[in-house]
Amino acid sequence: MDYPAPTRLTSPLLTLPDLAGRRAVVTGGASGLGLVTTRTFALQGADVIIGARDVTKAEAARAHLLAEHDLSAGKITVAELDLIDPDSIERFAGMAAGAPMDLLVLNAGISSVPLRHDRNGIESQFATNHLGHFALAARLLPSLEQGTDPRVVTVSSALYAAAKLDLEDLASSSRYSPGRAYNRSKLANVMFALELGRRLAESGSSVRSFAAHPGMARTPLHTTYPSVATRVMTRIIAGAIGREPGPADVGVLTAALHPDASPELFWGPTGSKTHPDAVGDWFKPVATDLGAAVSLWEVSERLTGTRIAM
């Protein structure tokens, strides 16, 4: 496949489109990067549904946003969504799928947590960050098909490039490394975004699939690492080179909203810490192996019991 040349878009946050009449879902939309995505979508006029694991916390974030920006109550809705629980995904999708949808941002994530498993025995970061989003996208795609310039944006990390997919050990039963498992889940995010895009294009769908990342962002994600040394080290790195969530979100917002963003590039921030440009870069070879992407897709269908119909 021929990919377009890497692209830099200057200050894309200064020219965001009007989103009046559009509907968006943001998973994990009440914290960190998800919260600023929710805020931007709502301020541009969209109606946003936050998929939240902790509904009480998310309702507080919603109330704060509405009050701070004088938004009407219907602009932002919170609904329970636990991406490691298939029943919760089903309930959430049933509620969100009632009308045409324009934007689906697969943002929620856990990072470098101790070894835990989902009900199928799959390691929890792969299950939450990838499988849960795979199942949710499958259920929401028919609503996106009815949307205007509909886009799915999967939030990954530049760390995907260091990962090995290792589909033979999804339980992480041999020598668990929290960081390696996180990187694998982020590789799965990127491969899913690309394979979804290929399948959508082949089927003639109007929905487009993008992958984006925030670089290093100062969010609560880095406070949950079990290792004190990792927490301290990450805080120092985030303080030195990280961005606040607002500017760090530029790649995600570009992928979601910019007319010139190509889904064949990986979108993230570049340049200024406070007013960054967005750069679309080539995906690394580890993410573009078609055979591996098809295997991941088939395993994901089997483990979630979902088929993405196109």
111 binds ligand NAP, rule: CB under 6 A: yes
109 binds ligand NAP, rule: CB under 6 A: yes
Taking a C-beta distance cutoff of 8 angstroms, is the pair 172, 114 a contact? no
Q: Which is nearer to ligand NAP, 100 or 231 (CB)?
A: 231
Cross-strand partners of 260: none
| Shortest distance (Å) from residue 27 CB to ligand NAP | 6
135 binds ligand NAP, rule: CB under 6 A: no
Contact partners, residue 47, CB within 8 Å, separation at least 6: 22, 23, 24, 74, 75, 76, 77
Taking a C-beta distance cutoff of 8 angstroms, is the pair 124, 109 a contact? no
Q: Which is nearer to ligand NAP, 89 or 101 (CB)?
A: 89
Tell which one of 30, 93, 163, 207 touches ligand NAP (CB under 6 A): 30
What is the rounded distance in angstroms from the CA atom of residue 217 to the CA atom of residue 238?
7
Q: Which is nearer to ligand NAP, 9 or 30 (CB)?
A: 30
Number of residues that bind ligand NAP (CB under 6 A): 29
157 binds ligand NAP, rule: CB under 6 A: yes
268 binds ligand NAP, rule: CB under 6 A: no
Residue closest to ligand NAP (Cβ): 32
155 binds ligand NAP, rule: CB under 6 A: yes
Q: Which candidate in 3, 160, 182, 225 is catalytic?
A: 182
Which amino acid, residue 97?
A
**What kind and span of H or E run contains 37?**
helix 32-43
31 binds ligand NAP, rule: CB under 6 A: yes
187 binds ligand NAP, rule: CB under 6 A: no
* 160 carries an active-site annotation: no
Tell which one of 200, 211, 217, 265 touches ligand NAP (CB under 6 A): 217
250 binds ligand NAP, rule: CB under 6 A: no
**What kind and span of H or E run contains 106?**
strand 103-106
What is the rounded distance in angstroms from the CA atom of residue 240 to the CA atom of residue 64?
29
Nearest CA to 51 out of 115, 97, 120, 114 is that of 97
Q: Which is nearer to ligand NAP, 209 or 219 (CB)?
A: 219
What is the rounded distance in angstroms from the CA atom of residue 229 to the CA atom of residue 222?
12
Q: Which of these segments, 1-9, 13-21, 94-102, 104-112, binds ligand NAP (CB under 6 A)?
A: 104-112
| Shortest distance (Å) from residue 61 CB to ligand NAP | 9
Per-residue exposure over 127-161, b if at least 16 CB sit within 10 Å of its own CB, e if not: bbbbbbbbbbbbbbbebbbebeebbbbbbbbbbbb
Taking a C-beta distance cutoff of 8 angstroms, is the pair 277, 107 a contact? no
Residues in contact with ligand NAP by the rule CB under 6 A: 27-28, 30-34, 53-54, 57, 81-84, 107-111, 128, 155, 157, 213-214, 216-217, 219-221
Catalytic residues: 182
